[in-house]
Amino acid sequence: MKKILLAIFAVAVIVSCSEEKIQPQIDKSEIKGEIPSNESWNSKIMFTDAGKIKAVLFTNHLRMYDKQKVTLLDGVKIDFYNRDQKKTSMLTSLKGKVDDVTQNMFAMDSVVARNDSGTVLKTSELMWRNKDQKIVTDKFVTITSPKEIIEGFGFESDQHLSNYVIYNVTYSSTLSDKKKK
């Protein structure tokens, strides 16, 4: 009986060694485009110039793509600082994107920006342009400040929301107008 079991075991080993290994198939249809080269959760990134803090980015999920030269962000909060390193404004959005070549940042979906003097900007999408550190959009915006409410299409401002322009104003009201109503 031992000889029969030993013979069956020997045949099984020889057969298994000579068979071609079967590789499991990977469904590549799920992988669309490039896989992130870096990925991070609950990140804090500090942007400095000559040792001074310019901005601090907080994000729930960050994905960097080397070939596309883009970084995608989920759950975005950015604090902007002035020359004296005092926090002057904050921007939040559900999603974001950074062009790794120009360093321009795009905020998308439920974008809200606030400055320390009470001005609030709401829009669906905007871009922070790195070369001149301006916030711009061609989308609909609402600006609420202690003095006025302005709505319209097209917007440009410094990153501190202290000097801004709305190009196509559709509604405007001052605080004194609201008190009369």
The tens digit of pLDDT for each residue in 4-22 reads 666 666 666 565 655 455 5
What pLDDT was estimated at residue 40? Answer: 92
23 has pLDDT over 90? no
178 has pLDDT over 50? no
Closest C-alpha among 78, 91, 75, 92 to residue 41: 75
129 has pLDDT over 80? yes
What pLDDT was estimated at residue 14? Answer: 64
The tens digit of pLDDT for each residue in 37-95 reads 899 999 998 888 888 888 899 999 999 999 889 999 999 999 989 888 899 999 999 99
Q: What is the CATH number of domain 34-180?
A: 2.60.450.10
Name the residue ranges covered by the structural domains of the chain. 34-180
The tens digit of pLDDT for each residue in 94-114 reads 999 999 899 899 999 999 999
What pLDDT was estimated at residue 33? Answer: 73
What pLDDT was estimated at residue 73? Answer: 95
What pLDDT was estimated at residue 125? Answer: 96
DSSP for the chain, written as a single string: -HHHHHHHHHHHHHHHHHSPPPPPPP-GGG--SPPPSEEEEEEEEEEEETTEEEEEEEEEEEEEETTTTEEEEEEEEEEEE-TT--EEEEEEEEEEEEETTT--EEEEEEEEEEETTS-EEEEEEEEEETTTTEEEEEEEEEEE-SSEEEEEEEEEEETTSSSEEEEEEEEEEEHHHHHH-
- Within 8 A by CB and 6+ apart from 179, the residues are none
When the pLDDT of each residue in the chain is averaged and rounded to a whole number, the result is 84
Against a cut of 0.85, is the pTM above it?
A: no
Q: How far, rounded to the nearest angstrom, does the alpha carbon of residue 151 sit from its chain's CA centroid?
A: 25
What pLDDT was estimated at residue 34? Answer: 78
Confidence of residue 26 (pLDDT cuts 50, 70, 90): very low
